[in-house]
Amino acid sequence: MIVVRNTFQIEPDQMKLAIELAKQNLALSKKVGFPMSRILTDLVGDFYTLVFEFETGSLAEVESGMKKVMSDPEWQKLYPQLRKLMRGGRREIFTVIE
């Protein structure tokens, strides 16, 4: 099992809108069969952090799922709105041991 975290730093005055767009992204991902399961925000650490997290069986599933989502016309309209709110980000991929 693999855990993927896409972590973004959001412009401080845009966090509320970013969360709303993230919820739309989550619903869309589920609709097209991509396994995104959680949206997280910071309690401690870097302020204005937004995380999309999901579990999957392999890196191949990550790649095929991302292709499926990114080719969706609704995602192509939604993502640029969210992207404008980001200052930066990173992706972390972990193997689940236990």
The whole-number pLDDT of residue 73 equals 94
Task: State which H helix or E strand residue 41 sits in.
Answer: strand 36-41
Residue where the block lists tokens 């959001």 = 10
Q: What is the pLDDT of residues 60-86, one digit of tens each?
A: 998 988 898 889 999 999 999 999 999
Percent of the chain residues topping a pLDDT of 70: 100
> What's the whole-number mean pLDDT along residues 30-36?
81
Q: What is the pLDDT of residues 41-60, one digit of tens each?
A: 999 888 999 999 999 999 99
Per-residue pLDDT band at 33 (split at 50, 70, 90): confident
Task: State which H helix or E strand residue 89 sits in.
Answer: strand 86-95
Indicate the pTM of the whole model: 0.87
Q: Which of 2, 70, 76, 8 is nearest to 34 (CA)?
A: 70
Q: Where are the domains of the chain?
A: 2-56+73-95
The whole-number pLDDT of residue 34 equals 81
The whole-number pLDDT of residue 38 equals 93
| CATH code of the domain occupying 2-56+73-95 | 3.30.70.100
